[in-house]
Amino acid sequence: MKKALLIPVKDPERAKTRLADLLSADERRALAWTMFEDVARAASHASADRVALVTSYEPAIERARQSGWEVLIEEAQSSESASVDWASRRLAEMGFDAVMRLPADVPLVSAEDIDALLRVDLPKPAALMVPSREGTGTNAIIRTPPRLFASRFGPDSLALHKEEAARVGVQCLIVENARIALDIDEPADIRALIECESDTQTHRLLMAMNIIERLKNRQDLLHC
């Protein structure tokens, strides 16, 4: 079975708006890119048959080409779901039997995390999902075949993906993974990442931004 790892990347100009009260626009752009670099490092050492990037963002395209990845260039980005589904169709046409979508904002992910999920035996048709930290989002998803059902990323995506799977008669395997579960969208997520004291570029960037002191000064943001 040929398996592809798919990473969608959007233009960081529109990234991480829920952190606007904590980080400036330039800092949010830097954070988004640095998280992508951490994810890219893990992906480059994973054992997927192919790593693919779907994006219209030129620096990400260049980064992926330097890494020898498959680059799927979008003319426009309407939504995460549309990007993932279009790219999954393309990968299916290239002969891939399964596609694992991994977001670009899970900086703690390791190559071992990715490999552990790709090693799970999923007989067609099947789906595997890794929930977000709060248990309502979908932080990683494997579908075999790749076009098994439509993506529903956004609020309550885990329940929505389960509904889509049920609609096509497939049960979902739910796999917990704390590192993949931590995507960075809100100040509380940043606090959780800092508490991990990880050896990531993202951790070092946030420390350079004096993020601990900022969080102390804005305790109200941790309850959003």
User: Tell me: the pLDDT tens digits for 5-16?
Assistant: 999 999 888 788
Q: What is the 3 state secondary structure string of the chain? A: CCEEEEEEECCHHHCCHHHCCCCCHHHHHHHHHHHHHHHHHHHHCCCCCEEEEEECCHHHHHHHHHCCCEEEECCCCCCHHHHHHHHHHHHHHCCCCEEEECCCCCCCCCHHHHHHHHCCCCCCCEEEEEECCCCCCEEEEEEECCCCCCCCCCCCHHHHHHHHHHHCCCCEEECCCHHHHCCCCCHHHHHHHHHHCCCCHHHHHHHHCCHHHHHHHCHHHHHC
Give pTM, 2 decimals: 0.94
Give the residue among 22, 10, 8, 4 at the shortest CA–CA distance from 194: 22
Percent of the chain residues past pLDDT 70, beyond the cut: 97
Cα–Cα distance, 103 to 180 (Å, whole number): 9
Residue whose pair of structure tokens reads 């048959």 in the numeric block: 49
User: Mean pLDDT, to the nearest integer, of 71-80?
Assistant: 89
Asked if the bond preceding 107 is cis, omega within 30° of 0, the reply is: no
Please report, to the nearest 10 degrees, the dihedral formed by the alpha carbons of residues 140, 142, 146, 150 taken in order: -50
Please report, to the nearest 10 degrees, the dihedral formed by the alpha carbons of residues 183, 205, 186, 57 taken in order: -70
- How big is the CA angle at 132 (ends 130 and 136), to the nearest 5 degrees? 105
Q: Evaluate whether residue 214 is within a structural domain.
A: no
pLDDT tens-place string over residues 189-203: 999 999 987 899 999
Q: Per-residue pLDDT for 212 more than 80?
A: yes
Q: Evaluate whether residue 166 is within a structural domain.
A: yes
Q: Per-residue pLDDT for 223 more than 70?
A: no
Question: What is the Cα 210 distance to its own chain's centre?
Answer: 25
Q: Evaluate whether residue 195 is within a structural domain.
A: no
pLDDT of residue 30: 96
pLDDT tens-place string over residues 31-65: 999 999 999 999 999 999 999 999 999 999 999 99
Q: Return phi, psi of residue 117, to 5°.
A: -75, -40
Q: Per-residue pLDDT for 208 more than 90?
A: yes
Question: What is the Cα 17 distance to its own chain's centre?
Answer: 17
Q: Which residue has the higher pLDDT, 78 or 135?
A: 135
What is the residue type of 208? A
Cα–Cα distance, 44 to 48 (Å, whole number): 9
Percent of the chain residues past pLDDT 90, beyond the cut: 87
Q: Per-residue pLDDT for 216 more than 90?
A: no
Domain count, the chain: 1
Q: Evaluate whether residue 94 is within a structural domain.
A: yes
Q: Evaluate whether residue 140 is within a structural domain.
A: yes
User: Mean pLDDT, to the nearest integer, of 130-159?
Assistant: 96
Q: Evaluate whether residue 87 is within a structural domain.
A: yes
79: CATH: 3.90.550.10
Cα–Cα distance, 172 to 180 (Å, whole number): 17
Mean pLDDT of the chain, nearest integer: 94
Q: How many residues does the chain have?
A: 224
Cα–Cα distance, 181 to 139 (Å, whole number): 6
Segments forming the whole domain that contains residue 136: 3-183
Q: Per-residue pLDDT for 224 more than 50?
A: no
Q: Evaluate whether residue 205 is within a structural domain.
A: no
Q: Evaluate whether residue 203 is within a structural domain.
A: no
